[in-house]
Structure 1
Amino acid sequence: MASDVLFQHLDYLLALAAERHFGRAAARCHVSQPTLSVAIRRLEKDLGIVIVQRGHRFEGFTEEGRRVVTWAQRIIAERDEMLADLERMRGRLTATARIGAIPTAVPASPFVTTEFLRRNPDAAVRIEALSSREIARQLADFEIDAGLTYLDDEAPPGTRAVELYRERYVLVAPTDLDLMSAPEVSWSGAAGLELCMLTTTMRNRRILDANMAAESAQYRPVVEADSVDALYAHLANSRRATIASTAWLPQLGVPPGFAARPMVQHGPRPAIGLVVLDRMPASIVAAALVAVAEDMDLGARIDKWWESATAG
C-alpha cells in the first residue's frame, strides 16, 4: 500500500462526502469534475481499496470508503489545527471559527463572536443555524469547531461545555391586547393567540410545548419556521405573536406596536452554552472560543438589559 496519500485528495473526498455528488463536490473545491474524479481514483489506488460505489452517478461509499471518510475528517482537522497552532506561535490566529448555533442562540451569537474577533483580529467567523442534533453530528465529524446549544439531556456526548446564559421567555405581542397589561402572562393565556413558533424539530419548540403542557394548554401555531428572523418577519403588520427569549431582544428588539411581557416560569430556566469537542490536544480555535465564553458573564448582561428595558 502506498504511503504518499495527499491532503488534497482527502479534501476532495470530504467534499464528495458532504455534497454526495461529483459535480457539486468539484465546484466546492474549485476544480473540474474530471480532476476530482481522477484524484479519488488515485486515492483508491494508493490505499488499495474501492472507496466510492459508482454507477451512472455517485451511489455512496463502500464500507471501507466510509471508514476512510471518518479518518479523513480526523486527519484534515488535525492538519488545520497544526496550521492554526503555528499561526498562534507567530502571535496571531488566522483561522475561521466555524460555529453551529441553534436558532434561538443565533441572535446572541454576536456577543461571543465580537469578543473573539477583538482578541483575534486576523481570524474570521462562520455562523450556521443548526438544530441541536445537527450540532452534535457536525462536532463529531469535525465540520464545526463549536456549537451554541442547550446544555441539557440532549447535549452532545464527548464535549466540554461552558454555560453562557439561561433562557427567560417573554410574549412578544401587540401592545393593545388585554393580557399584555398583566405583569406575567400564563401559557394558557398565550395559547389563544395567533402564535408564530419554531418547528417541532427544534429543541426550543419542545421546551415551549412542555411549558404549555404544564398548564394543560392546547394550541396550534398559525406559522412555523426554522429561524428566529422568519418568526419576526411574520409579526410585522399583523396581530400575531411569538414567545421569545430575552436573549433575542438586544439584537432584534421589539417590533413597533408590540410589547414584551414575561411568561410564567415553570421549572428551571434552560441553559444555553458553548460546546466543543473534549479532546487532547485541544483545538486552537475551540480553545480561543472557550476562553471568550469563560470570561464573559453573558447571562448577567442579558438579564441587565431586560431589566433596564422593562424599568418603569
Structure 2
Amino acid sequence: MLDKLEMFIALAREAHFGRAAESLRITQPTLSTGIKQLEDQLGVLLVFRASRFGGLTPEGQTALVWARKIVGDARQLREEMRFKREGLSGQLRLAVIPTALTWVARLASEFGEKHPNVRFTILSRTSIEILAMLDNLEIDAGISYLDNEPMGRVSTVQLYEEHYMLVCPLTSPFARRDSVGWDEVGGARLSLLAPDMQNRRIINRNFAAVDTAPETWIESNSTIVLAAMVERGDCLTVLPEDMAEFLAQRNSLALVPLHGPEPAHSVGLVAPYREPHTPVLDALMRTARKMSTRN
C-alpha cells in the first residue's frame, strides 16, 4: 500500500494525473491504476474524476492527512535503520527563502564538516511554497520566516533576525550616509523581489508604515538580478544585511542601514513536527541551534 499512498500524495500535490505521474517517473496509466487500487483497498472514492482531475473527495482529504503521516513514518523508519547500519548519511532536502541563501550555505558547510557522508539538495522557494513542500514531504526542512506566515505544526530553530540595508551605487547621494529612512527611499527608482515573496511583503509594509509607496521598476525572484541592476546604476534595492554584504563583496556597491518603525523579523530552520526526528534532521537542528547562539 505504501507505493499507492506515495502516488496519492503526488496526485494531491500536482492536481493533475500527468504531472503527478511524471514527478514519480511512472506512466499515467500506472498512476491511475494505483489510485483505483488504493480506493478499492480503502472502500471509498478518493478523487473526483471527469475528463481530468476534479479534486479530492471529503474522504480523500481525510485520507491525505493519514497518507502523509504513514509515508513520513515509513521514511523515518528507513532513515533510522540506515543510521544503525551506516551512521549519519543520506540526503537532506532543504528549501530556502532567497534572502537566506547565504545562511543555508553556512549551515550546510558547518554541518558537512562533522557529517561528511550527508549530501544536500538546496532549493530557493517562497515562504508559502516551503510550508506546502513540508506538508507534501517534498523536503526535509526549510529556512523561512518564523513570525509571518501561519506555520502550523512544525519544529523551529531561530537562526537570526533580519535587518534591512539600502544597496546603492557608490556614486549615489545615499552612499555616504550613516543611515537612511524608509520615507527617503520611497521616491527612488527601485529593484525589489517579486510580490509573492514574503520579503517583498515586509518591505511594502515598511514603506506603508511611513505613508510611502515604493517606485518599483524591476521585480525579480533573484537577489543576483537586483544587485546587478544596482551595479549598472539603474536602480537601488533593499536587502537583508547578510545577503547585502555577500553581494557587495563582489560588486562596487554601498550599503546603508535603513531605519524605521517596523521591527526586525525572525528567520530560522523549519521542520515537520515529529518526535523523534530522523537522526540526520536532529543533527541539522543541533547545528542550527549552535549557529544561533553565536549570532
What's the counterpart of residue 134 of structure 1?
Answer: 129
Alpha-carbon offset, residue 258 of structure 1: 2.3
Does 2:157 match 1:162? Answer: yes
Instruction: Point out where structure 1 has 5 or more consecutive residues left out of the alignment.
Output: 1-5, 301-312
Aligned twin of 2:39: 44
Provide the rounded CA distance (Å) in 2 between the counterparts of 1:45 and 1:270: 48
> In the alignment, which of 251, 271, 277 is matched to residue 282 of structure 1?
277
Residue 248 of structure 1 deviates from its aligned partner by 0.7
2:50 to 50, 55, 78: 55
Q: Distance in 2 between matches of 1:224 and 1:299?
A: 34
Once structures 1 and 2 are overlaid, which stretch shifts more, 74-83 or 193-202? 193-202
The alignment of Structure 1 onto Structure 2 pairs a total of residues equal to: 295
Task: Please give the secondary structure, in 2, of the residue aligned with 1:67.
Answer: helix
Cα gap change, 1:282 to 1:121, in 2 (>3 Å): same
Q: Are the counterparts in 1 of residues 89 and 280 from structure 2 also a CA contact under 8 Å?
A: no
Letter in 2 for 1:11: E
Q: Is the 8 A contact 1:84 1:93 kept in 2?
A: no
Aligned ranges 1:69-88 → 2 under 5 Å: 69-88=64-83
**CA offset digits 1:45-95 (Å, max 9, x no partner):** 222222222222222222222222221111111111111111222342333
Equivalent residues in 2 for 1:72-111, closer than 5 Å: 72-111=67-106
Rounded Cα–Cα distance in structure 1 between residues aligned with 2:249 and 2:217: 20
Stretch of structure 1 that moved more, 77-86 or 263-272: 263-272
How big is the shift at 1:278?
3.1
| Change over 3 Å in CA distance of 1:185–1:70 after alignment to 2 | same
Unaligned runs of 5+ in 2: none
Equivalent of residue 248 in structure 2, options 230, 234, 253: 253
**Match of residue 25 from structure 2:** 30
Question: CA–CA distance in 1 between the matches of 2:264 and 2:14?
Answer: 38
Once the two structures are TM-superposed, the CA of residue 20 in structure 1 deviates from its matched residue by: 2.0
1:99 is matched by which residue type in structure 2? Answer: L
Comparing 62-71 with 139-148, which one deviates more in the overlay? 139-148
The SS at the match of 2:155 is strand
Return 211-220 or 83-92, whichever deviates more. 211-220
Letter in 2 for 1:264: H
**2: CA distance between counterparts of 1:215 and 1:45?**
59
Q: Is 1:207 aligned to residue 202 of structure 2?
A: yes
Partners of 1:60 and 1:142 in 2: CA distance: 19
Q: Give the superposed CA RMSD.
A: 2.4
Percent of residue pairs bearing the same amino acid type: 33
Q: AA paired with 2:166?
A: L
In structure 2, the residue matched to 1:119 is: 114
Taking a change above 3 Å as real, the CA distance of residues 254 and 100 of structure 1, as seen in their structure-2 partners, is: same
Query: Would you tell me which structure has more strand in proportion to its own residues?
Result: 2
> Which segment is superposed worse, 54-63 or 164-173?
54-63
| Residues 108 and 252 (structure 1), Cα distance of their counterparts in 2 relative to 1, 3 Å cut | farther
| Range with bigger deviation, 262-271 or 80-89 | 262-271
Distance (Å, rounded) in 2 between the aligned partners of 1:218 and 1:21: 39
Say if 1:100 and 1:127, in contact at 8 Å, map to a contact too: yes
